[in-house]
Amino acid sequence: MMEYLAFEKPIEALAKRAAALRESGSGEAEALMLDERAHRQLGDIYARLTPWQRTQVARHPLRPHFVHYVQGLFEEFLPLGGDRLYGNDQAIIGGFARLGGRAVMVIGHAKGEDTTSRIRHNFGMARPEGYRKAIRLMEIADRFGLPVITLVDTPGAFPGVDAEARGQAEAIARSTEKCLEIGVPLVAVIVGEGGSGGAVALASANRVLMLEHSVYSVISPEGCASILWRGNDRAPDAAEAMKMTAPDLMQLGVIHRVIYEPVGGAHRNHAETIKRLGTALRSELQDLCSLTADELRADRWSFFMKLGSI
């Protein structure tokens, strides 16, 4: 069942009217007219979303997550667990897979589908062992010459005391370092939220892609607002100021490509979103796989050094 966001209430009202007419059994023609009207309004609304509204879309509970992309895009996925140091963090999942016949290593944040799984995956907020698992998988990929694909969807790294005690900052720094030093292609996609160092640790890539209604920022709008204005009520202002949307980041040169979503967002059409993402990934890997290890490292270094001059 579709969950409507606050700014989608006019669409919800039309959908309910159409459903009521169909239930009555005598208003199919009028219901079809309402469906068409709702689709037009949906397109108009999504064509002019504010940064705060895009943030809400990026967090939509029905938006496709890591498990959907693995099931719909990759073949022969073989998950690999554990960091060989402490444990197996469930917020970051990864393993061997094939994309269009090409062997790859895919790593991503898992948010979960319902209350139970969201708690198990800690809402996509990884602890140090999650980032150390990612490091281990990237090292395996480098050893066997496999391109790495990362799917980023996290509000940020887990901020708990236990994570800090086990070296959260160090783990994030080393994961970022590993992204930059491996000699195989690395393509990162922000598929939902790209929050803080928890996102950068998997997104320091040769190519950084974003789904159209994803967000990527150093802090959440609520966190920014609480620091600057001592309250969450200014979160929409913070979202506007931080330039965290895909169009803004593309213009600033922080990302390489925007992958456009179906009308109404990825949560309304998983299959088409996954198809578009697959097309973009295959295109990027086709270009990157022709480069040598040294060229790939130089490519990453050049891109991220330029960010300092923005």
Q: Name the residue ranges covered by the structural domains of the chain.
A: 7-20+27-48, 54-306
Phi, psi for 215 (deg, rounded to 5): -135, 150
The pLDDT of residue 309: 65
pLDDT digits (tens, 9 = 90+) for 119-132: 998 888 899 999 99
Residue 272, CA distances (Å) to 103, 170, 275, 276, 300 in order: 23, 38, 5, 6, 30
The pLDDT of residue 71: 95
The C-alpha atoms of residue 310 and residue 308 are separated, in whole angstroms, by 6
pLDDT digits (tens, 9 = 90+) for 151-185: 999 988 888 999 999 999 999 999 999 999 999 99
Report helix, strand and coil shares of the chain as percent, to nearest 5.
55, 15, 30
Q: Compute the average pLDDT of residues 280-295.
A: 96
Closest CA relative to residue 95, chosen from 112, 78, 119: 78
Pair of tokens at residue 165: 């005690």
Residue 267 has pLDDT above 60, yes or no: yes
Return the sign of the alpha-carbon dihedral for residues 193, 198, 202, 205: positive
Residue 254 has pLDDT above 90, yes or no: yes
pLDDT band at 26 (very low <50, low <70, confident <90, very high): confident
Cβ pair 140, 105 in contact under 8 A: yes
Percent of the chain with pLDDT over 90: 75
Q: Compute the average pLDDT of residues 63-73.
A: 95
pLDDT digits (tens, 9 = 90+) for 239-249: 999 999 999 99
Q: Compute the average pLDDT of residues 219-247.
A: 92
The C-alpha atoms of residue 81 and residue 136 are separated, in whole angstroms, by 10
Return the sign of the alpha-carbon dihedral for residues 38, 42, 43, 47: positive
pLDDT band at 310 (very low <50, low <70, confident <90, very high): low
Residue 236 has pLDDT above 70, yes or no: yes
Q: Is 264 left (phi over 0), alpha (psi -120 to 50) or beta?
A: left
* Bridging pattern class, strands 215-217 and 186-195: parallel
Give the pTM: 0.92
Q: Compute the average pLDDT of residues 80-96.
A: 92
DSSP tag of 262: P
Q: Compute the average pLDDT of residues 86-113.
A: 94
pLDDT band at 275 (very low <50, low <70, confident <90, very high): very high
**Bridge partners, 149 (sequence order):** 106, 187
Pair of tokens at residue 287: 């270009």
Return the sign of the alpha-carbon dihedral for residues 113, 114, 116, 122: positive
Closest CA relative to residue 297, chosen from 183, 170, 137, 154: 183
Maximum alpha-carbon separation in the chain:
68
Of the ranges 27-41, 198-212, 271-285, 291-305, which one carries the lowest mean pLDDT score? 27-41
Q: Compute the average pLDDT of residues 10-38.
A: 85
Residue 293 has pLDDT above 90, yes or no: yes
Average pLDDT of the chain is: 92
Pair of tokens at residue 11: 């669409």
The CATH homologous superfamily for domain 54-306 is 2-enoyl-CoA Hydratase; Chain A, domain 1 (3.90.226.10)
